[in-house]
Protein backbone atom coordinates (compact mmCIF):
# COMPACT_ATOMS: atom_id res chain seq x y z
CA UNK A 1 0.00 0.00 0.00
CA UNK A 2 1.35 3.40 -1.01
CA UNK A 3 1.48 6.15 1.53
CA UNK A 4 -0.38 9.21 0.31
CA UNK A 5 1.12 12.65 0.47
CA UNK A 6 -0.82 15.64 1.69
CA UNK A 7 -1.53 18.14 -1.07
CA UNK A 8 -3.43 21.39 -0.67
CA UNK A 9 -5.07 23.50 -3.36
CA UNK A 10 -2.12 25.92 -3.23
CA UNK A 11 0.34 23.09 -3.98
CA UNK A 12 -1.28 21.78 -7.17
CA UNK A 13 1.18 21.23 -10.03
CA UNK A 14 1.07 23.70 -12.90
CA UNK A 15 -0.12 21.16 -15.46
CA UNK A 16 -3.06 20.29 -13.22
CA UNK A 17 -4.05 23.95 -12.92
CA UNK A 18 -3.69 24.38 -16.69
CA UNK A 19 -6.04 21.44 -17.29
CA UNK A 20 -8.56 22.91 -14.84
CA UNK A 21 -8.39 26.29 -16.58
CA UNK A 22 -9.19 24.57 -19.89
CA UNK A 23 -12.17 22.87 -18.27
CA UNK A 24 -10.65 19.36 -18.45
CA UNK A 25 -11.35 18.12 -14.94
CA UNK A 26 -10.86 14.42 -15.72
CA UNK A 27 -7.45 15.13 -17.22
CA UNK A 28 -6.60 17.24 -14.17
CA UNK A 29 -7.56 14.39 -11.83
CA UNK A 30 -5.39 11.93 -13.79
CA UNK A 31 -2.43 14.31 -13.77
CA UNK A 32 -2.82 14.97 -10.05
CA UNK A 33 -2.97 11.27 -9.25
CA UNK A 34 0.15 10.58 -11.33
CA UNK A 35 2.08 13.43 -9.72
CA UNK A 36 1.11 12.78 -6.12
CA UNK A 37 -0.16 9.22 -5.77
CA UNK A 38 -3.45 10.43 -4.34
CA UNK A 39 -6.52 8.24 -4.52
CA UNK A 40 -9.32 8.96 -6.94
CA UNK A 41 -11.71 10.43 -4.37
CA UNK A 42 -9.11 12.75 -2.83
CA UNK A 43 -7.86 13.92 -6.22
CA UNK A 44 -11.43 14.62 -7.35
CA UNK A 45 -12.17 16.67 -4.23
CA UNK A 46 -9.03 18.76 -4.75
CA UNK A 47 -9.76 19.33 -8.43
CA UNK A 48 -13.38 20.26 -7.70
CA UNK A 49 -12.28 22.78 -5.08
CA UNK A 50 -9.62 24.23 -7.37
CA UNK A 51 -12.16 24.50 -10.19
CA UNK A 52 -14.04 27.11 -8.20
CA UNK A 53 -11.10 29.51 -8.47
CA UNK A 54 -9.19 28.30 -11.53
CA UNK A 55 -11.99 26.85 -13.66
CA UNK A 56 -13.44 28.49 -16.75
CA UNK A 57 -15.89 31.22 -15.90
CA UNK A 58 -19.46 30.61 -17.05
CA UNK A 59 -21.19 33.73 -18.32
CA UNK A 60 -24.32 34.76 -16.48
CA UNK A 61 -27.20 34.61 -18.96
CA UNK A 62 -29.27 37.72 -19.42
CA UNK A 63 -32.27 38.65 -21.49
CA UNK A 64 -30.18 41.14 -23.43
CA UNK A 65 -28.07 38.30 -24.84
CA UNK A 66 -31.03 36.44 -26.31
CA UNK A 67 -32.06 37.27 -29.86
CA UNK A 68 -35.29 39.19 -30.07
CA UNK A 69 -36.96 37.21 -32.81
CA UNK A 70 -40.29 37.88 -34.40
CA UNK A 71 -41.01 34.14 -34.18
CA UNK A 72 -41.39 34.22 -30.40
CA UNK A 73 -43.83 37.11 -30.65
CA UNK A 74 -45.92 35.29 -33.24
CA UNK A 75 -45.97 32.12 -31.12
CA UNK A 76 -47.07 34.09 -28.06
CA UNK A 77 -49.83 35.87 -29.94
CA UNK A 78 -51.02 32.57 -31.41
CA UNK A 79 -51.20 31.03 -27.96
CA UNK A 80 -53.18 34.00 -26.66
CA UNK A 81 -55.62 33.72 -29.58
CA UNK A 82 -56.12 29.98 -28.97
CA UNK A 83 -56.75 30.53 -25.26
CA UNK A 84 -59.21 33.36 -26.06
CA UNK A 85 -61.05 31.19 -28.60
CA UNK A 86 -61.36 28.30 -26.13
CA UNK A 87 -62.59 30.66 -23.42
CA UNK A 88 -65.14 32.24 -25.81
CA UNK A 89 -66.36 28.80 -26.95
CA UNK A 90 -66.96 27.54 -23.40
CA UNK A 91 -68.60 30.77 -22.23
CA UNK A 92 -71.64 30.50 -24.25
SS3 24: coil
Report yes or no on 72 lying in a domain: no
Q: How far apart are CA 14 and CA 65, in angstroms?
A: 35
**Across the chain, which distance is largest between two alpha carbons, in Å?**
82
pLDDT of the residue at 61: 67
Number of domains in the chain: 1
Q: How far apart are CA 5 and CA 11, in angstroms?
A: 11
Domain with 53, as residue range(s), is: 1-58
Report yes or no on 54 lying in a domain: yes
Q: Summarize pLDDT for 39-90 with one digit per residue, the tens.
A: 999 999 999 999 888 888 777 666 656 666 777 788 889 999 999 999 999 8
Report yes or no on 6 lying in a domain: yes
Average pLDDT over residues 10-20: 88
Report yes or no on 91 lying in a domain: no
Q: How far apart are CA 45 and CA 25, in angstroms?
A: 11
Report yes or no on 26 lying in a domain: yes
Confidence of residue 1 (pLDDT cuts 50, 70, 90): very low
Task: Report yes or no on whether pTM surpasses 0.75.
Answer: no
Amino acid sequence: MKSEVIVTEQQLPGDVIAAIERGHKIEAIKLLREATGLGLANAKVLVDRASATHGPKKPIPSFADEPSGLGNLVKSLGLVLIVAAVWYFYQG
